[in-house]
Chains A and B, each alone.
Chain A
Amino acid sequence: MKKYLICLFAALVCTGQYGCKKFLNVTPLDKLSGITFWQSQADVDAFTTDIYAQFRNVLTSTMYMPAIGELRSGYILPAVNNNTNTAGEKNIRLVYNAFAVNNLKASNGGVLDASRAWSGIGLANITKWYQFYTIIQDANILYDRVNKGVPGLSADDKKRCMAEAVFIRCFTYFFMVRIYGNVAYYTQAYQQAPLPRENFVSVISKCIADLSAVKNDLPLVYQDPALLAIKATRGAADDLLMNMNMWNAGFDKANQATYWQNTADLGAEIIASNIYRLLPLENFDQVMRGKSNEGIFEFAQNVNYEGEANPRAFFGDMVLRYPYKGAGSDNNSSHAYFTAAYLQRLYPTGIADKRLTLWFDKYMLSQDGNFQLLKFQGSIISGATGASAVPEWGLIIFRYADAILLRAEALAYQGKDTEAANMLNMIRTRAAAPSYSGPGGQDLQDAIFNERCKELMGEGYLYFDLLRTGRITNATWTNFPLTQDLIDKGAWTWPIDGAALYNNPYMQLNTYWQ
């Protein structure tokens, strides 16, 4: 009897286990935990969407793309004309002078000098890589969680989501490398141990390997037209890979040939996919607004969803004025102009080019606040006033013209001059400019570089093109050349915020800026 009772009790205890586990499973009503989250495709989508949105928030937090990709070329200088009602704006523009002489210091009137009028526009954000690492962690966590299995996710979707995570991670590292040089690299989810910085060529090589392995899991296009160009596709991955290959080709000279070949092949793949088109230049406002057939990868910026963005995030804000921007009283002067010499070099007199006629007006060489770069013109956000009354722009990262010209460049380096010229001419044809008929070799390479300067003007490529092609050392191609010695010391990078040293004994900052 006793034994029976004890057995009964023991049995109760054992069978109770399952019920208890259920009993202990309390779903919190006030917030989501990692347990209750990853339960459906919708959860994965919401998380992925957030990562893109985070990146968008980084890029719109300040004058991000112009600062990292354009201003340090030295060709862009402040217009000193007043805006009628906003005289203080003139002092903020003076930061372009500091950029033009590569003075990113936190003192002596440098870009990061907190005592200057421009300190309020948040350029110091660019030195804080924390936000990028949050994105990298999220991408790694996305990969990890999807890999572990999410209910209701098909095998194809699972592969796609994981490939998307890899794309986001590689994209972020590519961005970081171009800003900071060497960065701490990891692909593990929930990384919490401190790491040292890793050579950037190696980082990019790893990214190339990672992304190449999974890029075919990405779709060519999404069924939902709302996702056009704002979500990772095979084309976006291809273009990112081309950019990464060409970046490494500039620094890892030993393996140049492979990088060139890869770029050429990837470019061919994009063209062959027959998804992207070069839009007529007359409709270029569609390209800059985003979600066009020319766009390969962009961040969405839609006043309906994201609200009015910080206009400074867009290059167009610097080079437009009334009537292309809001009320005349606030916007009667552009913030900056391209130097006349530079524009004259790109557009020699007498050569037909629609870009010259459509993108510039009679003040093209005025070197003052009358200057405008009309490729950024578009319909002004309805209802917006004051500084926000700017055309509705998307954050265009990669577009078809970039892919075509990168392929042209790679082919030209490989000596495949005809093919390279064909690529170059695709762009020229759209601009109704005469086809390239010059010799191959250096001339062709220079022509392609100039074409990139013209076509991608203001889109955040110029400084990086100068760097990776080595033209940064040559006064022919930049207004403020750096010596090889300065480049080796890291003069081309941005300073890194000192907080990076905290809790990380392996960390070093960019010594050039110390």
Chain B
Amino acid sequence: MKRKLLLILIISACLAMPQYLKAQVKNVLVKGVVTDKETKETLVGASILLDGIPPKGLTSSNAKGEFSATVPVGATLIFHSVGYKEKKVKITGAETLNVEMVVNSTSLNEVVLRGYVERTKEKTTGSSYTISGSEIQDIPVSNAEELLQGKVPGLNIQVNTGAPGFRGTIAIRGISTISTTGSGSDSFLQPTSPLYIIDGVPIDADNAADFGYNSPGGVSPLELIPTEEIASIEFLKDAQATSEYGSKGAFGVIIITTRRGNSKKPTIRYTANYNVKVPPNLRTTLGGSAERNAKLAEIMTNGSYSDQLKASTSPILSDSLSAYYNNSTNWQAIYYVPTYNTSHNLGIDGGDPTFNYSTNLNYYKEDGIIRNTGFSRYTMSMLMQFHPNDKFKSQVIFSGNLGKRSQGNGQGLLQTGVATNASASSLLPGPSLFQQTSAFAADLSVKNDNSTKNFNTSVQLSYKLLPGLTLANIGSYAYTAAAEETDYPAATNNNTSMVYSYNDRKAVLYNHSDIIYNKSFGGHNFYLHGATEISTNNFQAGYIRLVGTANDQILGPLGYNTHDTNGGGVLKSFHDYRSISYSGAFTYDYKTKYVLDLSYRLDGSSISGFDSPYAKNRAVGFKWNFYKESFLKDLGWLSSGDIRLSYGQNIQPTGNIYSLYGEYAQTGIYEGSNRIQLVNTNIPNNVLKSTTNTTYNFGLDVNLFNNKVSINFDTYLKQVTNMQSSVPLSTMTGFGNVLSNDASLIDYGYELSLTMRPLPATSKLVWSLTFIGAINRDYLTQLPGNKNQIVVPPTGSGVGTTVLRVGRNTLSNYILKYNGVYSTTANVPVDPATGLPLRTSASSTAFFKAGDPIWQDTNGDYVIDDNDRQVLGNSQPIVTGGLNTYLKYKSFTLNINGSFTYKRDIMNDALATRLRLVNNPFGSSVYLPLTDLNYWKQPGDQASYPNPYDYNRTSAINPFRSEQSLFMASGSYFKVNNITLGYTFNKKLLDKLGIANLRLTCSANNVITFSPYIGPNPENVSALGYDQSGGYPVSRTYNIGLNLQF
């Protein structure tokens, strides 16, 4: 058999290389094993090539790392394996050749994609950072984004929801917008997600319906990529690096490359994960008689005589013998449960440089720790590369994915209903067949099926027309259909069942063409690149809501008016966008010592109007690979080093044709004629400028001591000008608002990545340690109309709690300043004009007294109201980063990742809620113990918190209102994200079983968080810093994984 194979190999080698046949003198057989120099593990699928111009593929190592090839004497063999340094061996005769390969620890020779063109990293001038796919394996998560936390300098990821199938927040280099929706704890910052390029195809990660999070709709495309399939991820941060992506890359670009096949013999990789998700520590509550006693004690101490009488007629308080009230129900345990989940991934790949393929099947299932929620994913993808000769190259990708999400009764990311219902009094009986509240039924029996199906195809072609001149094209089509069906049983919806059915579809057609020319002479390298890009993007969503089906089981037909079709139709999110871009780039380098990049791009879009449809982006970058200078060449400790400088401007068209030219709408009939009106909500503003991001970047990359220490340092200044914001107009203009773009902010910061491999290469213990840190500060420099301050108006009623003030950090809280507790009533200030003590309104007769909060009376009118609020705090983190370590000893690996956020002000709504829960002893809410808090108990106390038990104060002064600095707390934390322990089984044992590789992993995710924050989780906060523990808590996961390779 072996001989036969050999024969075939020889014949095919001979056929493939006729020119070598001529020169052939004598052929010898070379056999051997390819191993990793450090770990001595055999390397499967290493390519073996015969040196030449170009090199010719001969064979590759088999599952045991063995290879054999017949080659002419005197030829040179090249051994190539992804992640290892290329090794060349000259053949002098027939021999057994054991090749040891060294891990490629320097990133300089990495091939990176720049605008769809491959270049070595050494020649790039922009700021970018790459991590390999292996760094994010072994932890099953629904969204790979979560695993990037703390791994990339300047990438701030906050996993602020544990809801399965939802994303946290992500931002590269600080804040880029001032647009917010909602108010208080329900406020959201407009997501400014980076552009994702997955295998060359741009993906919009912010699902159209994701904005505001509480909207219906499908799953973000990012959740449909299995982590097992990811080969590498690159982050482009400055305007030079993103220049080739134009306006779309304004918030940074993340390039994800999936696995390619590189072994002649098909490799089958199977990964299985079994995990348990555990709810975080739930809050301690008072149960049964403890709750009753606490409530009664509160009434007896603080209540009026009539309240004390009322207590005796309130059965929940007084009738402790009634079976109905004689309970100690743990409501939280009903809603929050541990879940057991599995995921399976099967990858098959193979081929050689001429033709290779890779296919992947993935199943992932996650039941949420809140009952009746979950996420599951089914994906299948196929990638083929065909490279028949030097000139022609092609790559075809198909993938079909299905993501299913169940969000129960919640509207999405927040499950606030559950939080409210989970805080029911423990005295009430738990749910049962005979006794269940509609709220409980709604949370647990509403059926929600929220699925997204997408189908993606892409074809990449490139052709070398002439030496140095290449034409390339990538075209892709992605179709996504999402549907959400929610069935509300009658018991949950005022005794009328309801069916809600939402569906949307999205189609993106994309094509990108390049022409690339490069020329080198005498150390001068020129590179010229022109490209056009064209895309169309259609989206339409609609819904039907049917109220009153025949019973809970009959859920259709939808659309027929069974009883009361209550709304429906095509939603306003309907759109049809088109864009077209032209770009040009020029690069010059001299012996790769000095590199200069110039690029220019025009972006046209169907929404930016006709007067100036093209936004112009430009960037300049310069790099000095100083280690190549002769005077530094002899420094043994300097492995490599370079300095980067870049400047770039990224222009994004803002607004749309309606904000530019006005929206006209039919308004009825007047005297038999049609009326069409210019909608006067927003005045057309045809001088609307495009949002401009200007970035200056300075970077330094140094590798020291034979790559044992790698340092990447970047400092940047990012100016965001002409930010869009809606500004109210004077009534004498007849219009409500104008979409203005006179707002500006700046971000500046420092980023550092430090990797150390302190142990010598000969050591049996392999250890690497990476520190990632970034400091980002932002300042608001301008507001529309040269205003000094704008209080962001809330959606709905109430007062805004977020404020924009020029000269400060961009997003601040607008709250009352809390200065402690009035120890005695004598301490309350008295208005000398009226002789009346401090109060909350000029007409109130409820005055402050001992045990009440000391709020700063900013305007000195002896009335504490909204006018006394101050601009305080910064809701955006200043320092973010992480610490990652990797240890390997013999067959064991240990991986620990941590991330941190330092200097952030968050609003502890959880504490506010906890203190407010005790203000209604007659109600049916649970009581939480407050013994850990130093609250005011009696006159003379120097307390940290006002008296929570004097429930009459709530209506008088509302001492525990959320919008005060009492609840503003430090949101700094250090989190151990995950710990993974891996064991690789012995080769010899596996050989007998016909298994190439078997690895077991044991991991824990979201292990522990260290923080001075006394709320539940300093990370579980909205982008504006409001605690969302009433939302979906982040679970802890323990996982056992199996990696099997044939």
Contact = CB atoms under 8 A, between A and B. Distances in A.
Contacts of B534: 23
A225 B733 CA distance: 35
* Interface-centre pick from B517, B684, B732 (highest chain A CB count, 10 A): B732
Contacts of B738: 192
A46 B673 CA distance: 7
A22 to B, nearest CB: 10
B732 A300 contact: no
B530 to A, nearest CB: 7
Interface stretch (B269-277, B379-387, B605-613, B942-950): B605-613
A134 B669 contact: no
8 contacts: A2-B466, A20-B580, A46-B676, A50-B675, A52-B670, A53-B667, A133-B731, A304-B672
Given A46-B675, A47-B677, 13 more contacts: A2-B466, A6-B515, A13-B532, A29-B576, A33-B658, A42-B674, A47-B664, A56-B670, A129-B731, A129-B732, A137-B680, A192-B735, A194-B732
Nearest to B667: A50
Contact of B668 (A26, A42, A53): A53
A26 B577 contact: yes
B733 A133 contact: yes
Contacts of B729: 192, 194, 503
B676 A5 contact: no
Contacts of A5: 465-466, 469, 515
Contacts of B135: none
A30 B572 CA distance: 8
A361 to B, nearest CB: 34
Contacts of B727: 503
A191 B530 CA distance: 43
A92 to B, nearest CB: 28
Interface of A: 1-2, 5-6, 9, 13, 16, 20-21, 23-26, 28-35, 37, 42-43, 45-47, 49-50, 52-54, 56, 128-138, 141, 183-184, 190-192, 194-195, 226, 230, 300, 302, 304-306, 497, 499-500, 502-504, 507
A184 B728 CA distance: 18
* Interface-centre pick from B530, B661, B664, B680 (highest chain A CB count, 10 A): B664
B54 to A, nearest CB: 22
Q: Interface on chain B toward A: helix, strand, loop, or mixed SS? A: strand
A230 B683 contact: no
A190 B683 contact: yes
Contacts of A45: 673
A34 B662 contact: yes
B731 A502 contact: yes
Contact of A26 (B532, B606, B731, B735): B606
B786 to A, nearest CB: 11
Given A33-B664, A46-B673, A306-B670, A184 B610 contact: no
A37 B664 contact: yes
Contacts of A138: 677-678, 734
A353 B609 CA distance: 66
A138 B667 CA distance: 14
B740 to A, nearest CB: 9
Interface string B644-672: 00000000000001101111110111111
Given A2-B469, A26-B606, A133-B733, A34 B657 contact: yes
A141 B734 contact: no
A500 B677 CA distance: 23
Contacts of B661: 33-35
Contacts of B892: none
B680 A24 contact: no
Contacts of B664: 31-34, 37, 47
Interface of B: 465-466, 469, 515, 517, 530, 532, 534, 570, 572, 574, 576-580, 582, 604-606, 609-610, 613, 657-658, 660-665, 667-678, 680, 683-686, 727-735, 738, 785
A416 B530 CA distance: 84
A497 B580 contact: no
A49 B785 CA distance: 34
Contacts of B678: 34, 47, 137-138, 141
Given A34-B664, A43-B676, A191-B733, A25 B670 contact: no
Contacts of A497: 731
Nearest to B668: A53
A190 B579 CA distance: 29
B732 A50 contact: no
A248 B5 CA distance: 109
B604 A49 contact: no
A268 to B, nearest CB: 31
A53 B665 contact: no
A25 B676 contact: no
Contacts of B684: 34, 190
Q: Which 8 A-B pairs have the closest CB atoms?
A: A34-B661, A133-B734, A53-B670, A504-B730, A134-B734, A50-B675, A32-B664, A46-B676
A42 B609 CA distance: 23
B660 A34 contact: yes
Contacts of A130: 731, 734
A464 to B, nearest CB: 23
Given A2-B517, A49-B674, A25 B610 contact: yes
Contact of B672 (A1, A13, A184, A305): A305
Contact of B670 (A31, A132, A300): A300
B447 to A, nearest CB: 31
Contact of A9 (B530, B660, B670, B728): B530
Contacts of A194: 729-730, 732-733
